[in-house]
Amino acid sequence: MFSIYIDDSGSAPEHKFAIAAGIVFPSHRVEAFEREWNAFLEKEGARELHASECVAHNPHSDFADWDDDQSKGVLLRAQQIIFKYSVKAFAIGLHKQDYNEAVPKEMWLSVSRSHYVWALSSVLGLSYDWASEHTTTMEYVFDTASKEEKRDIQEAVDYSEAIYSGHFSGHHSFRSRKETPGLQAADLFAWVNYQAACDTRFRIPIKPAAEKLWLRFFLRQEQNWCTIQSLNREGLEMWVKKTHESPEDLRLREYKQKRKEARMQKPKKPRPRV
């Protein structure tokens, strides 16, 4: 049994790039991981780790009085703990404009109009392949999100369940990132990949605190610890050409259309009188 903790970066409307990332831990090692992670943060005087707030020294966070050296040191130590206990990680990113222009609108019914849903569905697909290779089950853990973000996550889970029946339904949960070290680890992995993507795609200089982290994550690909994919415009167009109007695409459109109609026909609960 394994658990994958999944988070995102770049999902805000003003961001050009969307990232979905997940880190896999053997379930029997989660308790030891959380114990070491929490003890480390307590020693540093932080109740949780949030990468972007840590680097920005958010004045409303535990990192307000930290200097750049302390932030870098804490993030690097956190990365070491991640490497110590985890066994696999996935990160999928795409340029939002490419998605908007390359994916036909009629495909949105099957794969969603949301960039994050597409990236998240890709992470779920890769994790399914990994779990199948290792003949194991997987638990999927997501950050307790806003109503809109939770809807996107559920849409990605439903899409993946329609493809890999029986693997996702009933095997996912929502937890508070503040109380879940695995989600804090996924946040760090997603943030570093977002920084690297902005540097590569848009020539936005990678933040100094992310440089060494990115190099270490990147080098871990050679050891098969992580799979990092950033789909360019050509790759996305090739995916559309392969998928558009395929039997799978049409089946998923029909499936989601029926679910949509069923939700619309479901009677609403009467509001209690005051």
3-state helix, strand, coil in the chain (%, to 5): 60, 15, 25
- Gap between the Cα atoms of 67 and 74, Å rounded: 11
Give the integer Cα–Cα distance in Å for 218 and 152.
Answer: 28
Strand locations in 122-254, DSSP E? 138-143, 172-175, 226-231
Residue with tokens 């638990």: 139
CB 4 within 8 A of CB 139: yes
3 state DSSP class of 136: coil
CATH superfamily entry for domain 2-262: Ribonuclease H-like superfamily/Ribonuclease H (3.30.420.10)
Residue 204 has which token pair? Answer: 């936005």
Predicted confidence (pLDDT) per residue in 59-91, tens digit: 999 999 999 999 999 999 999 999 999 999 999
Tell me the per-residue pLDDT of 233-245, one tens digit each, with 9 for 90 and over: 888 888 888 887 7
- Looking at residues 7-19, what average pLDDT do you find? 87
Candidate from 75-79, 190-194, 216-220, 256-260 with smallest mean pLDDT: 256-260
d(C-alpha 68, C-alpha 76), whole Å = 12
Confidence of residue 253 (pLDDT cuts 50, 70, 90): low
List the chain domain ranges: 2-262
Q: Which residue has the tokens 């340029």?
A: 95
H runs (alpha helix) in the chain: 30-44, 51-56, 68-85, 96-102, 108-111, 115-133, 147-163, 181-202, 208-219, 233-243, 247-265
Residue 229 carries which DSSP code?
Answer: E
Has residue 105 got a pLDDT over 90?
A: no
CA atoms within 13 A on the CB side of 188: 30
CA dihedral 35, 36, 38, 44 (to 10 degrees): 160
Computed on alpha carbons and rounded to an integer, the radius of gyration of the chain in Å comes to 19
Answer whether residue 40 shows pLDDT above 60. yes
Average pLDDT over residues 3-8: 96
pTM: 0.88
pLDDT tens digits along 190-214 = 999 999 999 998 999 999 999 999 9
Q: Give the mean model confidence (pLDDT) for residues 35-48.
A: 97
